[in-house]
Amino acid sequence: MKKKVLLRIGLFAFIAIFVFAQFGLAADYEMAIAHYSITDPVEQGMQASLLYFKNMVEARTDGNLEVTIYGDGVLGTPEEYTREAIRGRTVQSAILYAGSFSSFYDKYQLMTSPFLFTDYRTAWNFFESDYFADFMDEARKETGLRYLGIYDDGGGLVAFTNSRRLIQTPDDMEGLLIRTEENPAHIAMIEALGAQAVPLSWGDVVTALASGVAEGQFNAPSVNNYAQFWEVTEYTSWIPFVYNTAVWTVSDEWFKDLPVEYQEVILNTAQEAMVVARGVDTQRSQLYWVEDSEKYEDSYMPTPEVQEEWAEILRPAFYEWITEDFGIDPDLVDEFWEAVEQVSRDVDEDIFNRLGRE
């Protein structure tokens, strides 16, 4: 009996030592990242990049900074979990799409400008420019959210799908019922084209298209594939008038409390993670555009000349909306657009100087 008691005491002592040892091995810092998108890393560059980020940050800090990823909006709406991220307690990092981030930093609506980017290379170079870093640092000062990176939301450049007719020119938009995000910039642009905007949350889109409440919508081809829009619409047109983005942020207060070496790990690894995301998202968009075009009754990709026809209508309409209705300083709009155009010129010149030699 005495031996059994001693054995039991010894077992409890061993368990207690083991449990306390586990507590002793707990990470010194925790970083909870919330996002709204799907959690399949094969289909979604955001999730793939976050898995890379988690693995590398934990390795580079020897497990002292633990990263946990919460996708699919399990922590609430983007606005809800971003407010938590500002506090930096239960959530330290938030990813939210352009319209949501604009509710925290209204100048970000400039990123919704029509035909702001017509190619990926210009967009990515702009996101990494000094001008954009300064622009987003102003957001940090206003919101308490530090910018870590910009995602091409679903692949960035959008394509229409609709059930009425093949969209080629702006005239083809007349009278169409087009679902938009609940983003006033999108609504203004669709209505400038003579269509009627139908603002709906993502969860209602397929039902609205199937029932006729909406006749069309626009998203990147990879998103259109995920939703299988060919089942409820008949035509698709890759009119890249909007470059959808998502903003990856971290609580500035929480970030500043980290050791400097951990701050560097987060910043450097986030930049590496963006490369992972871009590779996945652009690959899926290009692949699905080719594959899915066969599933619609007809498809269309415009020439640069046709895109210019769209821009001639949308750019002035957006300029009027963002300066007069939304209240952004016209000088800032001009400055922002010029900064993008300068990056585009620099990119073209760089490519030719390096690869176009005789």
| 3-state helix/strand/coil string of 34-52 | ECCCCCCCCCCHHHHHHHH
Residue 125: how many other CB atoms lie within 10 Å: 17
**pLDDT above 60: residue 22:** no
Residue 25's pLDDT is 54
Confidence category of residue 152, pLDDT binned at 50, 70, 90: very high
Average pLDDT for the chain: 92
What are the tens digits of pLDDT across the range 311-326?
Answer: 999 999 999 999 999 9
What's the Rg (C-alpha) of the chain? 24
All structural domains of the chain, each given as residue ranges with its CATH number in brackets, are 19-153+245-287 (3.40.190.170), 159-242+294-353 (3.40.190.170)
Average pLDDT over residues 335-353: 93
Average pLDDT over residues 73-97: 97
Average pLDDT over residues 92-106: 96
Specify the length of the chain in residues.
358
pTM for the full model? Answer: 0.90
**Contacts with 122 (C-beta within 8 Å, 6 or more apart), sequence order:** 340, 343, 344, 347
- Does residue 242 contact residue 314 with C-beta atoms inside 8 Å? no
Percent residues over pLDDT 90 in the chain: 87
What burial class does residue 338 get, using C-beta atoms within 10 Å of its C-beta: 0-12 exposed, 13-18 middle, 19+ buried?
Answer: exposed
Q: Report the candidate in 297, 181, 178 with the shortest Cα–Cα distance to residue 236.
A: 297
Whole-angstrom distance, CA of residue 168 vs CA of residue 173: 9
Per-residue CA distances from 87 to 94, 144, 252, 268 (Å) = 11, 8, 9, 23
What are the tens digits of pLDDT across the range 215-242?
Answer: 999 999 999 999 999 999 999 999 999 9
Q: Which pair of tokens denotes residue 220? A: 């990147």
Beta strand pairing call for 235-237 and 298-300: parallel
- Does residue 309 contact residue 114 with C-beta atoms inside 8 Å? no
Residue 356's pLDDT is 81
Whole-angstrom distance, CA of residue 26 vs CA of residue 20: 10
Residue with structure tokens 């976050």? 50
Q: Report the candidate in 181, 184, 201 with the shortest Cα–Cα distance to residue 326.
A: 184
What are the tens digits of pLDDT across the range 274-314?
Answer: 999 999 999 999 999 999 999 999 999 999 999 999 999 99
Residue 6's pLDDT is 42
